[in-house]
Structure 1
Amino acid sequence: MKESKKRVVLGVTGSIAAYKAAELVRLMMGRDWDVWVMMTEAATHYVGALTFHALTRHPVPAGRCEAIPSEAFQHLDLASADAVVIAPCTANLAAKLAHGLADDVVSATCLATTAPLIVAPAMNEKMWNNPATRANILTLKERGITVLDVESGELACGVIGAGRLCALEKIIAAVESVLR
């Protein structure tokens, strides 16, 4: 009997690093995972849902859950994944996750899932080092969410510092670890 593919849901948020999510999808699909993508509304300003639809051949919900009545419960279907990954994860989404807010398809899916949740933050160094962000990240870790370390280097704003999205291979390794 053929083993069914592992279902991995990728949440993309409104960071300049969102463009890297397309390559992340390709890497995930190369492992023969059934990859689904969901996006915050802000993410759609950086990369289009059509990009992810073309790569995955699945519909890509974006923004508020109730925006399309027929898709009002899509977050519950997405929540049944084998793993949920948020990459890039903005300070805004980290705060929503830490405080249990669910006002869009990405945050609602994260709140509804019982699957392992992996968060790969990406943001400006000042945002990353803000005490509120640090507290939110600590809260996520204390709840058993896998939070990958940001990397240091040149950020989109031109500053050298911590806040870059980690290497995509690290995200893949984290997903492989929870799927075992």
Structure 2
Amino acid sequence: MANILLAVTGSISAYKAADITSQLTKLGHQLKVIMTPAATAFITPLTLQVLSKNPVGLDVMIEEDPQRIEHIDIGKETDLFLVAPASANTIAKLAMGLADNMVTSTALALPQETKKILAPAMNTKMLEHPATQRNLKLLQDYGYQIIQPRYATLACGDQGAGALASIETILTTIQESLS
């Protein structure tokens, strides 16, 4: 099975990371989780630690093991990098090559051959904004596979594209990418 690194960002859909983590672990994958500070407002790192059976990476400036540079080393051990949910903010940072948290620093340090999947989740207007569309295109050019968000009634009450893709769609995309 694969070594998968799940990056969770600040979106109301972050709670679904628990199901993604649980399902991938049940499928036999080795899973590590990293989070942006905003993601921790939506789901606790402890939940994802218990489900993944691994510590959750939170702060790029805290190195527990002096023999490792975590955001560099974790990428070397990763077969597939999944950002789910991917907020507009993190998408913009990834597209611009910013590295100001554990998720963006790790993403920038990934080997080029690492498979990368992004599952956006945000308000429809944010998703449709030309800047977000440009950033998604840039990330595709950088080798990211984009899982299109669903059309649904969003947390804000609006209806439109922007809901995180179904867990089944995300799992199928991962399996196809790994085969």
Q: CA offset at residue 69 of structure 1?
A: 3.7
Q: Does 1:32 align with 2:31?
A: no
Name the aligned partner's letter for residue 144 of structure 1: G
Q: TM-score, with normalisation over the residues of structure 2? A: 0.93
Q: Does 1:70 align with 2:64?
A: yes
SS of equivalent to 2:82: strand
Say which of 5, 9, 13 aligns to 1:17: 13
Matching residue of 2:103? 106
Matching residue of 1:93? 90
Q: Distance in 1 between matches of 2:52 and 2:167?
A: 18
Identity of aligned residues (%): 39
Q: Does 1:140 align with 2:139?
A: yes
Name the aligned partner's letter for residue 101 of structure 1: L
Cα-Cα RMSD: 1.2
SS of equivalent to 2:108: helix
After the TM superposition, list the runs of 4 or more consecutive aligned residues in structure 1 that deviate by more than 6 angstroms: none
Count of residues in Structure 1 that have an aligned counterpart in Structure 2: 174
Matching residue of 1:168? 167
Q: Distance in 2 between matches of 1:70 and 1:21?
A: 24
Per-residue CA distance 1:17-70 (angstroms, 9 max, x = gap)? 0000100111111210001111000000000000011111110011x301x243
Q: Which structure 1 residue ranges, 5 or more long, are not aligned?
A: none
Name the aligned partner's letter for residue 17 of structure 2: A
Matching residue of 1:47? 43
Q: Which structure 2 residue ranges, 5 or more long, are not aligned?
A: none
Q: Distance in 1 between matches of 2:157 and 2:45?
A: 27
Q: CA offset at residue 157 of structure 1?
A: 0.2
Name the aligned partner's letter for residue 167 of structure 1: S
Q: Distance in 2 between matches of 1:27 and 1:105?
A: 23
SS of equivalent to 2:118: strand
- Do the aligned residues in 1 keep the contact of 2:63 with 2:70 (CA within 8 Å)? no
Q: TM-score, with normalisation over the residues of structure 1? A: 0.93
Q: Distance in 2 between matches of 1:171 and 1:120?
A: 8
SS of equivalent to 2:152: strand
